[in-house]
Amino acid sequence: MPLSAYAKDNFIAPDMSSFTTAKIKDMAKTSAEREHWLYNYILNSLLRVEIDERLRQTLFNFLRRTQFAFREYALAREQTATYLKRASNAAPSYFIAIGRWETVLSHTWQAYELLVGTEKRALFEPNDGSALQRLNLLYNRSKHVKTAINAGQLAPGSTLAVWLANEGLRAVDGQLTFDEIARILEELAVWSDAVQDPLTMGEKILARYPEAAASPARPT
C-alpha cells in the first residue's frame, strides 16, 4: 500500500516525500587498483619491504576500510537509484539505501582514523564545519543512535538519525552532500594508491602533497 507524504515524513524519515532526485558520482574509475589495494599491499609488504608490525597492521586495516568504503558506496548509489525509480518509492528500498550509506560513513571515517593514527593528530577542529567534521558527526549519529534518541537529536516525529535528501545525507545538526562524500573518497584513493606499496609510499605522497613534511607512516 502506498504511504502518504505524512506517513513517510513522520514515521520513516524526515522529508522522505520530497526526496525525489539524487546526483551521485560514479566512482568506478577513481583508481585502477581500487579492487586490489589490499592484496597489492600484502604482496609488497611480504616481498619488497619490512615495516614495523604496528604500522603494518595500521596500513592493512586502512586499506581494508577504504576498499570496502568504495564497494559500499557503489552499492549505496545503486540502491538509491533503485528506490527513486520505483513509482511508489517503497519503504524497504529506502531502508536498504540508507543502511548502505551508513556503512559508507562508518568505513570512511574509520579509514581516516587509521590514516592519521600514527601521527596522533586531529582530523578537524571542534565544530569547524569541515567535510571531515560533518562526516564524523553523521557517523556518530548513525553509530550511537540510542544516545542521539536520548539527547533529542532526531527530528521531531522521525525515526532516523541520518536520512537521505536530494543533495546528500542529513541529520538534525549537519549534512554531507553526495559530492563531498565523493571528494572524501577520492582523497582516500590517493593515499591508498600510495600505501599499497610501502617502499615508494613516501615519495608518492610527497609528489601529490608537497606541503606534507612526512607521510602518515613511513617504512623502516
Where do the domains of the chain lie?
32-208
- Global pTM exceeds 0.95: no
Per-residue model confidence (pLDDT) at position 115: 87
218 and 201 Cβ atoms separated by less than 8 Å: yes
Query: pLDDT value at position 219?
Result: 33
Q: What is the pLDDT along the chain (220 residues), one digit of tens a residue?
A: 678 888 888 888 998 999 999 999 999 999 999 999 999 999 998 888 788 888 899 999 999 999 999 999 999 999 999 999 976 667 889 999 999 999 999 999 999 999 886 555 678 888 899 999 999 999 999 999 999 999 988 888 788 999 999 999 999 999 999 999 999 999 999 999 999 998 887 788 777 777 665 444 433 2
Count Cβ atoms below 10 Å from residue 113 Cβ, excluding itself. Answer: 16
Distance between CA atoms of 124 and 183, rounded to whole angstroms?
A: 16
Residue 95 phi, psi dihedral angles, 5° rounding: -60, -40
135's grid cell: 562526516
Q: Cell 525525489 belongs to which residue? A: 20
Report the pLDDT value the prediction gives residue 217, as an integer from 0 to 100: 43
The three cell numbers of residue 32 are: 585502477
Phi, psi of 169 (to 5 degrees): -100, 140
